[in-house]
């Protein structure tokens, strides 16, 4: 039996079918991503503060409505209390440095598979009132954020201070959609999570010009969970080293970023299989970072005495921070501009240009060429070249004087000057010294070894050019000929 539908009804059916039918992968993923709200769980813990009453229960009732008024549909928020004084597990998480953390290390019950953002909040007494602190854990990147602290001096402002701390600790997440070549370098186009859901407060923006993002690579299995190794341990997402994304322009849910990196090609131009390229907003804390320089080749020994300079992106002026200590380390203090370019220099050689946000990581290790052999070779060659200049100068003077004495017929004086000439270091003597040092100075680093070869080759060419033995040999023949003629005369 066939049933005939009115034309209008057929059109409606086609429209509905088009809405629910699977869309092409990329377009559908982008649409879902930008319209998917953050599933946020806030966990509150506070010491017993009589002046503030029951802080956890008070905030449990007040935070969610206030957040909804500010953020609208961008956040789906749940607020729970940890119960009583902070537990040991809670205190341990607060003490961890910013960076990666396995979800298994979070106290049980804090995070469920339905939540992709965990915000911790606590209130503690202080001399001048209280301190409200917040920090975030992002499930997609397994990254624990820095602690954000705000002073609280009036109990009536507890809720508003807590809201400000939570918003300041929140790090927007995005996907790297594509990488493009642009004027002045490469650009990354980000698609912001919940970027298509406008907030009710227009001043709350997920990305503004100048904001920094850290690219992070995530390896998924077929179900979209973290891939596991052979031992069953999850492969935690890894930040792309020495790379940051600087927002230049925002258009709706898309942000165009300048790629600032110390690597040649830090990001893939497209998505590869189940590998995701994410980007997490950077909240640089007001702390220092200890940078340690290690030799690139094994054994990775500490590199002491290397110069460390900093400059602002896009500028040429540099400022010397200092030299690495015996352990190869140096402290990098936070700057007015969070992103700085760190220059590593050994002697006159620039070894690396590394984008760094001081405080983003408490410790960084940079593997750079061990420049010890090149410095030693440079010092040896410099001394040899100074000797070469001195030898060439003295040789020219003695040659001219000897020629003058010969022309005047003073053969004995010419012989004396020739003897002094022959006592000067000749080309073969200096070449043997050069070859001996060259055979001893070898570097496992191919780049440094090429520099050594170039340095010794150039010096050898200088010896060939300026210490040709032909003029001295010609003078010796002229002196011998004139001496023979003088002795044969009656």
Q: In the beta sheet, which residues pair with residue 173?
A: 280
Domain ranges, ordered by start, for the chain: 34-169, 173-281, 289-368, 372-488
pLDDT in tens, 18-27: 333 333 333 4
State the pLDDT confidence band at 409, using cuts at 50, 70 and 90. Answer: confident
State the pLDDT confidence band at 51, using cuts at 50, 70 and 90. Answer: low
Mean pLDDT of all residues in 445-464: 87
DSSP summary character for residue 53:
B
pLDDT in tens, 277-333: 999 999 877 788 999 999 988 888 999 999 999 998 888 899 999 999 999 999 999
Q: Any idea which residue has 């909240």 for tokens?
A: 283
CB-CB contact of 406 with 414 (8 Å): yes
Query: Quick check: 488 pLDDT over 60?
Result: no
Architecture of domain 34-169: 3-Layer(aba) Sandwich (3.40)
∠ Cα 233 237 240 (to 5°): 140
Identify which has the larger pLDDT, 269 or 105: 105
State the pLDDT confidence band at 56, using cuts at 50, 70 and 90. Answer: confident
In whole angstroms, what is the distance from residue 328 CA to residue 368 CA?
Answer: 11
Q: State pTM to two decimals.
A: 0.78
pLDDT in tens, 375-397: 888 888 889 999 999 999 999 99
Spell 66-99 as b/e; 16+ CB within 10 A means b: bbeebbbebbbbbbebbeeebeeebeebeeeebe
What's the confidence (pLDDT) of residue 24? 37
Q: Provide the phi-psi class of 188: left if phi over 0, else alpha when psi is between -120 and 50, else beta.
A: beta
Omega prior to 299 cis, within 30 of 0: yes
Tokens at 437, concatenated: 């040092």
Q: In the beta sheet, which residues pair with residue 255?
A: 190, 250
Q: In the beta sheet, which residues pair with residue 75?
A: 38
pLDDT in tens, 147-197: 999 999 888 888 899 999 999 999 999 999 999 887 778 899 999 999 998
pLDDT in tens, 71-100: 989 999 999 887 545 566 677 788 888 887
In whole angstroms, what is the distance from residue 354 CA to residue 243 CA?
Answer: 8
DSSP-based three-state secondary structure for 55: helix
Identical fold at 34-169 and 173-281?
Answer: no
Query: Quick check: 29 pLDDT over 50?
Result: no
CB-CB contact of 451 with 459 (8 Å): no
Query: Quick check: 472 pLDDT over 90?
Result: no
What's the confidence (pLDDT) of residue 254? 93
| Four-way CATH pick for 173-281: 2.60.40, 3.40.50, 2.40.30, 2.60.120 | 2.40.30
What's the confidence (pLDDT) of residue 267? 84
What's the confidence (pLDDT) of residue 47? 63
Query: Quick check: 218 pLDDT over 90?
Result: yes
pLDDT in tens, 117-160: 999 998 888 888 889 999 999 999 999 999 999 999 888 888 89
β-strands 243-251, 238-239 pairing: unpaired
Supply the Cα-derived Rg of the chain in whole angstroms.
36
Is the CATH code 2.40.160.40 the one for domain 289-368? no
Please choose, from the candidates 155, 133, 131, 122, the residue with its C-alpha nearest in 3D space to the C-alpha of residue 50: 155
Please choose, from the candidates 259, 222, 258, 215, the residue with its C-alpha nearest in 3D space to the C-alpha of residue 238: 215
Residue 429 parent element (H or E): helix 427-440
For 13, 22, 296, 345, the CA distances from 274, given in Å and listed in that order, are 35, 19, 31, 39
């Amino acid at each position: 039996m066939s049933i005939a539908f009115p034309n209008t009804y057929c059109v409606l059916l086609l429209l509905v079918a088009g809405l629910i039918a699977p869309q092409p992968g990329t377009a559908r993923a982008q649409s879902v991503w930008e319209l998917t709200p953050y599933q946020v769980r806030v966990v509150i813990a506070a010491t017993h503060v009589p002046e503030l009453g029951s802080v956890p229960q008070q905030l449990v009732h007040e935070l969610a409505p206030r957040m909804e008024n500010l953020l609208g549909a961008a956040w789906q928020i749940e607020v729970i209390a940890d119960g009583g004084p902070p537990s040991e597990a809670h205190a341990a998480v607060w003490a961890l440095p910013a960076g990666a953390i396995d979800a298994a290390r979070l106290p049980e019950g804090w995070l469920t598979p339905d939540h992709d953002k965990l915000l911790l909040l606590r209130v503690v007494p202080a001399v001048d009132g209280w301190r409200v602190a917040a920090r975030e854990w992002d499930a997609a990147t397994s990254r624990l954020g820095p602690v954000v602290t705000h002073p609280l001096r009036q109990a009536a402002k507890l809720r508003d201070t807590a809201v400000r701390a939570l918003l300041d600790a929140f790090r927007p997440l995005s996907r790297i959609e594509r990488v493009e070549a642009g004027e002045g370098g490469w650009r990354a186009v980000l698609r912001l999570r919940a970027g298509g859901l406008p907030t009710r407060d227009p001043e709350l923006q997920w990305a503004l010009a100048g904001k920094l993002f850290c690219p992070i690579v995530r390896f998924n299995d077929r179900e979209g969970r973290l891939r596991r190794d052979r031992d069953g341990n999850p492969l935690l997402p890894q930040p792309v080293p020495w790379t940051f994304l600087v927002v230049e322009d925002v258009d709706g849910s898309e942000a165009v970023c300048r790629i600032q990196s110390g690597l040649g090609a830090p990001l893939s131009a497209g998505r590869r299989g189940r590998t995701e390229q994410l980007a997490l907003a950077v909240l640089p804390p007001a702390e220092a970072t200890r940078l340690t320089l290690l030799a690139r080749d094994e054994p990775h020994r500490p590199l002491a005495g290397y110069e460390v300079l900093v400059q602002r992106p896009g500028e040429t002026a540099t400022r010397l921070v200092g030299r690495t200590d015996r352990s190869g380390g140096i402290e990098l203090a936070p700057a007015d501009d969070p992103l700085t370019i760190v220059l590593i220099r050994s002697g006159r050689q620039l070894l690396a240009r590394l984008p760094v946000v001081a405080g983003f990581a408490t410790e960084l290790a940079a593997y750079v060429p061990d420049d010890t052999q090149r410095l030693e070779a440079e010092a040896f060659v410099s001394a040899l070249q100074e000797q070469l200049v001195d030898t060439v100068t003295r040789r020219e003077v003695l040659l001219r004087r000897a020629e003058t004495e010969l022309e005047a017929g003073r053969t004995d004086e010419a012989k004396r000057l020739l003897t002094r000439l022959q006592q000067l270091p000749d080309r073969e003597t200096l070449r043997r010294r050069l070859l001996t040092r060259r055979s001893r100075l070898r570097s496992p680093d191919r780049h440094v070894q090429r520099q050594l070869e170039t340095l010794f080759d150039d010096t050898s060419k200088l010896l060939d050019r300026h210490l040709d033995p032909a003029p001295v040999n010609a003078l010796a023949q002229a002196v011998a000929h004139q001496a023979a003629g003088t002795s044969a005369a009656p």
